[in-house]
């Protein structure tokens, strides 16, 4: 049996600039996301990571190649694949609870009451009980990113794609949110979601990933793969941790 839930098959993509020049962003990229794995993808800023995730989520159609979800082509956004952007995107005129319920309205055929109960339970899981009736404008950046996470997980996606979700948070908030992502994945009520995290932050990728793909700078290609064989939670101050970090930097340079 194929152990891949998502397959990126020979994907290439370019942008056309206003002056008519072609900017080649992704070149002949192929890799698999396996069932239940935490896949890290690390590359420098501008290397094409956001473009890659948008292609995987069905938001951009690549110029060539394809993305397969359980063997079928991804041709547009699907509730099975959730994307968390770098900047938390929430509707400012809706409460925290309403923002999460909205995600359920798009996919589930359940009663309003059931939606509220479900949204509430995911807000509890990300540590936001008590803030259901707050508006996004009243929350800190870290809390907004938690709402986004609850909204991304409430529909039980099979694949969670995360685009540098910690990069705009203050360091302490980033630390606690990284830990929580790991704990959420072990939560018994959640299905074993596959996670793809893209980041330029090598330490963050080593801390969280089971397997890491290293990208070249633009156009992005996979230049190496490293399996991180360390128990979680991982201590960044160990020699072993730094061996992995060094190995990735070597591949990036
Ligand atoms: N819609 C667009 N039109 C033209 N160029 C773009 C567009 N989106 C991104 N780019 C360019 O493509 C390159 C890769 O961007 P991106 O995928 O955002 O990289 P990363 O997320 O790794 O920083 C960058 O040089 C960026 O300026
Ligand atoms: Mg980006």
What is the rounded average pLDDT of the residues 146-167?
A: 92
Residue 170 is predicted with a pLDDT of 86
Nearest ligand to the CA of 220 is: 1
Please answer whether residues 180 and 110 qualify as being in contact, where contact means their C-beta atoms are separated by less than 8 angstroms. no
Which-ligand-closest: CA of 25?
A: 1
**192 vs 251, which has greater pLDDT?**
251
pLDDT at 68 over 70: yes
The number of the ligand 1 atom at minimal distance from the alpha carbon of 51 is: 17
**Coil/strand/helix, residue 197:** strand
Protein residue with least CA distance to atom 24, ligand 1: 46
Between 107 and 242, name the one with better pLDDT. 242
Query: What ligand is nearest to the CA atom of residue 26?
Result: 1
How far apart are alpha carbons 160 and 38 in whole angstroms?
9
Residue 49 Cβ inside 6 Å of ligand 1? The answer reads: yes
Q: Please give the share of the chain, as a percent, with pLDDT higher than 90.
A: 74
- With 0-12 CB in 10 A as exposed, 13-18 as middle and 19+ as buried, what is 164? buried
Quote the distance between the C-alpha of residue 220 and its chain's center: 18
CA of 16 to the centre of ligand 2 (A): 18
What domains can be seen in the chain, in order of their start residue? 1-80+193-253 (3.40.50.300), 84-156+166-191 (3.40.50.300)
pLDDT band at 107 (very low <50, low <70, confident <90, very high): confident
Res 158: pLDDT? 92
Whether the per-residue pLDDT at 1 is higher than 80: the answer is no
Q: From the CB of 142, is ligand 1 less than 6 Å away?
A: no
C-alpha 61 to ligand 1 mean position (Å): 15
For residue 239, what pLDDT is reported?
96
Amino acid 213: pLDDT: 98
4 CA from centroid of ligand 2 (Å): 24
- Burial environment of residue 131 by CB neighbours within 10 A (0 to 12, 13 to 18, 19 or more): middle
In the reported structure, the alpha carbon of residue 204 is separated from the centroid of ligand 1 by a whole-number distance in angstroms of 22
Query: Where does the pLDDT of residue 109 fall: very low under 50, low under 70, confident under 90, or very high at 90 and above?
Result: confident
What local confidence, expressed as pLDDT, does residue 184 receive? Answer: 79
Mean of the pLDDT values across residues 126-148? 94
User: Does ligand 1 come within 6 angstroms of the Cβ of 51?
Assistant: yes
Evaluate if residue 53 carries a pLDDT over 70: yes
Residue 188 has a pLDDT of 65
Residue 165 CA, ligand 1 centroid: distance in Å: 17
Give per-residue pLDDT as tens, 170-229.
Answer: 888 888 888 888 887 777 666 668 999 999 999 999 999 999 999 999 899 999 999 999
Is the separation of the CB atoms in 151 and 103 below 8 Å?
Answer: yes
Please give the model's pTM, rounded to 2 decimal places: 0.93
What pLDDT does residue 58 have? 97
What is the reported pLDDT for 191?
A: 67
pLDDT band at 240 (very low <50, low <70, confident <90, very high): very high
Query: How far does residue 164's CA lie from ligand 2's centre (Å)?
Result: 7
219 CB within 6 A, ligand 1: no
Residue in 1, 10, 13 with CA at minimum distance from that of residue 71: 1
Orientation of helix 112-125 relative to helix 141-153, angle to 10°:
130
**Ligand 1 within 6 A of CB of 242:** no
């Amino acid at each position: 049996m194929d152990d891949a839930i998502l397959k990126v098959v020979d994907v290439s993509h370019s942008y056309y600039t206003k002056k008519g020049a072609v900017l080649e962003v992704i070149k002949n990229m192929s890799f698999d996301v396996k069932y239940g794995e935490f896949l890290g993808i690390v590359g420098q800023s501008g290397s094409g990571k956001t473009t890659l995730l948008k292609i995987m989520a069905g938001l951009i159609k690549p110029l060539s190649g394809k993305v397969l979800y359980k063997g079928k082509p991804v041709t547009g956004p699907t509730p099975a694949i959730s994307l968390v952007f770098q900047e938390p995107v929430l509707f400012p005129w809706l409460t925290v609870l309403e923002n999460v319920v909205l995600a359920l309205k798009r996919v589930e055929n359940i009663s309003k009451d059931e939606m509220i109960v479900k949204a509430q339970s995911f807000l509890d899981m990300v540590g936001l009980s008590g803030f259901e009736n707050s508006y996004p404008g009243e929350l800190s950046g870290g809390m907004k990113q938690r709402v986004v996470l609850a909204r991304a997980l409430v529909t039980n996606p099979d694949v969670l794609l995360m685009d540098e979700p910690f990069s705009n948070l203050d360091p302490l908030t980033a630390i606690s949110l990284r830990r929580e992502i790991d704990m959420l994945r072990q939560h018994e009520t959640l299905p074993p979601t596959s996670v793809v995290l893209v980041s330029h932050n090598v330490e963050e990728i080593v801390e969280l990933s089971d397997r890491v793909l290293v990208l070249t700078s633009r156009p992005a290609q996979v230049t190496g793969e490293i399996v991180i064989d360390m128990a979680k939670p991982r201590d960044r101050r160990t020699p072993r941790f730094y061996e992995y970090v060094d190995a990735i930097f070597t591949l990036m340079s």
